[in-house]
Amino acid sequence: MSFETLQLAAPILKALARCGHHEPTPVQAQAIPKIMAGRDLIASANTGTGKTAAFVLPALQKMMARQPGRKKGLRTLVLTPTRELATQITRTARDYGKYLKLHSVAIYGGMPFGDQIRALAQSPDMIIATPGRLIDHIWRGRIDLSGVEMLVLDEADRMLDMGFVDDVEFISDAMPEGCQTLLFAATMGEAASKLARKFMRDPERVEIARGKITHDKIEERLHIADSLQHKVKILNHLCADSTVTRAIVFSATKRDTDSLAKELKAQGHAVAALHGDMTQGARNRTMDDMRRGKIRILVATDVAGRGIDITAVSHVINFDLPRSPEDYVNRIGRTGRAEQSGIAISLASRGDLQYLDRIERYIGHNLAVHEIPGLEPTSGFGPSMKSKRSGKPRAKDNRSGRGRSKNVRFKKSTGSGTTASAR
């Protein structure tokens, strides 16, 4: 299937071709016709499957057709949980709308109000916003929602998990009669389902079969650590490998993110931290430095890491395992993009066992265990864990969702570039 078969307008097709995109992904192929038909939609698909274009393209198509006598102003509102995602979606909207006379702006916290006030004064057609800052502007009368034709809740599950329930409900309540509502999420939890029931009218559904949760082009590895100090030594060794050309290291807290960045910098690595306590200007500069190659290793929290749009990431390293398996999939999806291969490495100590178990049940297989000569685990945790896991990677059981057994071969690793072996 090509984008032409979706009956998108010529200027949009021209922009897609310019970006090198010629065929829709499964979620785009299924969602775009339903959205263009005016239906409310719930779409669930993994990170990295093209969800952003699935709503941006039909939004641009619908905004092209300006009704006679309608004043210029806001027609599409996109809510998203983080500043980075808002920036990424705005960039996508501008790329695909390059040949259209439409104006898109991003509104989020951490940036001066003056810049945003000037942007809003230009009567944008599309606003991509985080909920809190959007409500600030609504209360001050700077945003008129009366003409909104399409409301998009992107990463709805993440927004609700981050405590934006009341804000999202306030904004949804303020939508005019007949506004089309689209809800996109990696997973549909109870909170997202409840929100859909409250604000959507007989929505269509698109759910891309998960099958194998993670990507075929991403090799997943696990290193077992005795302690925090052992984890840091393993991380230092991994980052020193020449095959790690551009890496994102995920840490659980802002404080640990700063500490790890300092530790890696002291070892001579070109590294920077990215977390929510940084000003937006500092976050933007860090992202730009990463894209230009001035930074080789980015240490980030989940909130800051959500929506990171950096190409050619060779490695993702989970220094701290995420608390939810969905976050694991989102993290490792930062690599292995655009037909490139990638490596995702997770470090786990005894306290991480419960999170590791959830992740492996969710993705349907065990992570292949690697060891670095001289940095092997020495406590009882390492051997006992290998004994527990050996021969028992989880493959999904379609009847119950529980695991079945296969063989696994553990292999020593000289560094992050060694190929894992699992069967």
Let me know if residue 212 belongs to a domain.
no
Q: Are residues 189 and 268 in the same domain?
A: no
The answer, yes or no, to whether residue 165 has pLDDT greater than 70, is: yes
Among 153, 177, 207, residue at a domain's last position? 207
pLDDT-wise least confident of 52-61, 298-307, 380-389: 380-389
- Residue 67: what are its φ and ψ, rounded to 5°? -70, 140
The answer, yes or no, to whether residue 241 has pLDDT greater than 80, is: yes
Q: Which residue has the higher pLDDT, 270 or 214?
A: 270
The answer, yes or no, to whether residue 385 has pLDDT greater than 70, is: no
Among 155, 183, 207, residue at a domain's last position? 207
The answer, yes or no, to whether residue 415 has pLDDT greater than 60, is: no
DSSP-assigned letters across all residues of 250-264 = E-SSHHHHHHHHHHH
Q: Are residues 390 and 251 in the same domain?
A: yes
Mean pLDDT of the chain: 83
pLDDT at 396: 41
- Per the structure, how many domains does the chain have? 2
pLDDT at 195: 84
Let me know if residue 420 belongs to a domain.
no
The answer, yes or no, to whether residue 223 has pLDDT greater than 60, is: yes
Which tens digits make up the pLDDT trace of 69-120?
Answer: 567 889 999 999 888 889 889 999 999 999 998 999 999 987 888 999 999 9
Let me know if residue 334 belongs to a domain.
yes
Nearest to 172 by CA among 205, 138, 140, 142: 138
pLDDT-wise least confident of 97-101, 215-219, 415-419: 415-419
Q: Are residues 198 and 259 in the same domain?
A: no
Let me know if residue 422 belongs to a domain.
no
The answer, yes or no, to whether residue 219 has pLDDT greater than 90, is: yes
**Reduced 3-state DSSP string for 172-220:** HHCCCCCCEEEEEECCCCHHHHHHHHHHCCCCEEEECCCCCCCCCCEEE
Please give the share of the chain, as a percent, with pLDDT higher than 90. Answer: 53
Q: Are residues 43 and 171 in the same domain?
A: yes
pLDDT at 181: 96
User: Structure tokens of 70?
Assistant: 């309608």
Q: Are residues 226 and 194 in the same domain?
A: no
Q: Are residues 308 and 343 in the same domain?
A: yes
Which tens digits make up the pLDDT trace of 304-344?
Answer: 556 677 778 999 999 999 988 878 888 888 888 766 789 99
Q: How many angstroms separate the CA atoms of 3 and 409, rounded?
A: 43
Is residue 167 classed as helix, strand or coil in its secondary structure?
helix
Q: How many angstroms separate the CA atoms of 14 and 20, rounded?
A: 10
Q: Cα–chain-centroid distance for residue 277?
A: 20
Q: Are residues 175 and 263 in the same domain?
A: no
> Is residue 215 very low, low, confident or very high in pLDDT (cuts 50, 70, 90)?
low
Cβ(311)–Cβ(337) below 8 Å:
yes
Q: How many angstroms separate the CA atoms of 358 and 305, rounded?
A: 21
Q: How many angstroms separate the CA atoms of 377 and 416, rounded?
A: 17
Let me know if residue 126 belongs to a domain.
yes
| 116-120-126-132 Cα dihedral, nearest 10 degrees | 50
> Is residue 8 very low, low, confident or very high in pLDDT (cuts 50, 70, 90)?
very high
Cβ(302)–Cβ(324) below 8 Å:
no
pLDDT at 412: 43
Q: How many angstroms separate the CA atoms of 126 and 63, rounded?
A: 9
Q: Are residues 172 and 268 in the same domain?
A: no
pLDDT at 70: 64
Kindly state the DSSP code that residue 408 receives in the 8-state scheme: B
Q: Which residue has the higher pLDDT, 267 or 308?
A: 267
CATH number reported for the structural domain that contains residue 259 in this entry: 3.40.50.300
Which tens digits make up the pLDDT trace of 293-303?
Answer: 899 999 998 86
Q: Are residues 201 and 87 in the same domain?
A: yes
Among 207, 237, 268, residue at a domain's last position? 207
The answer, yes or no, to whether residue 411 has pLDDT greater than 90, is: no
pLDDT at 320: 94
Helix and strand element counts for the chain (H, E): 16, 17
Which tens digits make up the pLDDT trace of 186-204?
Answer: 777 777 888 888 889 999 9
| 109-114-117-121 Cα dihedral, nearest 10 degrees | -150
Cβ(215)–Cβ(51) below 8 Å:
no
Q: Which residue has the higher pLDDT, 122 or 192?
A: 122
User: Structure tokens of 419?
Assistant: 């190929």
Nearest to 300 by CA among 258, 336, 353, 330: 258
Q: Are residues 186 and 249 in the same domain?
A: no
The answer, yes or no, to whether residue 392 has pLDDT greater than 80, is: no
Q: Are residues 232 and 180 in the same domain?
A: no
pLDDT at 68: 55
DSSP β-bridge partners for residue 79: 129, 153
pLDDT at 158: 81
Let me know if residue 417 belongs to a domain.
no
Find the length of the chain: 423
Let me know if residue 272 belongs to a domain.
yes
Neighbours of 286 (CB within 10 A): 20
Burial category of 154 from C-beta neighbours within 10 Å (exposed 0-12, middle 13-18, buried 19 and up): buried
Q: How many angstroms separate the CA atoms of 323 and 237, rounded?
A: 25
The residue range of the domain holding 332 is 218-412
Q: Are residues 131 and 274 in the same domain?
A: no
User: Structure tokens of 136?
Assistant: 């600030």
Let me know if residue 376 belongs to a domain.
yes
Cβ(342)–Cβ(217) below 8 Å:
yes
